[in-house]
Amino acid sequence: MPEAKRPLPKPTPETRHFWEGTAAGELRLQRCDQCRRAYFPPRPFCPKCGSRKVSVFKASGRATLYSYVINHRPMPPFTAPYSIAVVELDEGPRMMTNIVGCPQTPEALQLDMPLQVVFEKQTDEITLPFFKPAGA
C-alpha cells in the first residue's frame, strides 16, 4: 500500500496568490477597495458588496482560537490525537488550520488564546499555514 500523504491543495487561478504567499512566508488576504472589508477564502471580488476592485495584502499572522476538535481516530499520516481548528485572524476572516507547538489537549487549547502563524513547506509548490500559541 502506498504511504498515506496529507491531501495537498491544488491552487486555482483565483487562489494562486495565497499559495505563492505562503511559499514566501506571508499570509496573504484580500480586501475590498470600496467597502474595505477583509475576506477569505480568496476570490477576485468582495463577498460583502460584490465589487471587483479588490487588493491582496499581507496579513499580520496574528489570530485567536475560535473553536476546534481533537481527532482521536487514526488518520495517516497524521498522528492522533491532533487538533483541527478554526482560527479568527486579527483582520477578521476565519480559516481552518492545525494548532502546532503545544500539547494536543483541551487544557493546552483554550478558546480565544492568542496564536501566531507558522509556515511548513510540503512541496516546491505548496506551503501550508499552521498556527502556534503566541510567544511559544
Contacting residues toward other proteins, per CB under 8 A: 6-12, 15, 41, 66-73, 75, 78, 81-82, 84-86, 94-98, 106, 111, 128
Q: What residue type is 35 in one-letter code?
A: C
Measured from the CB atom, the residue of 50 and 81 that comes closer to other proteins is: 81
Q: Which residue has the cell 483565483?
A: 14
Q: Which residues pair with 107 in a beta bridge?
A: none
CB atoms within 10 A of CB 108: 13
- Give the nearest distance from C-beta 12 to other proteins in angstroms: 5
Alpha-carbon dihedral sign for residues 80, 71, 78, 22: negative
Is 57 or 82 the residue whose CB approaches other proteins more closely? 82
Taking the complex as a whole, the smallest distance from the CB of residue 28 to other proteins amounts, in Å, to 13
Least distance in Å: CB of 75 to other proteins?
Answer: 5
- Identity of the residue, 41 or 114, whose beta carbon is nearer to other proteins in the bound complex: 41
Neighbouring C-beta atoms of residue 26, cutoff 10 Å? 19
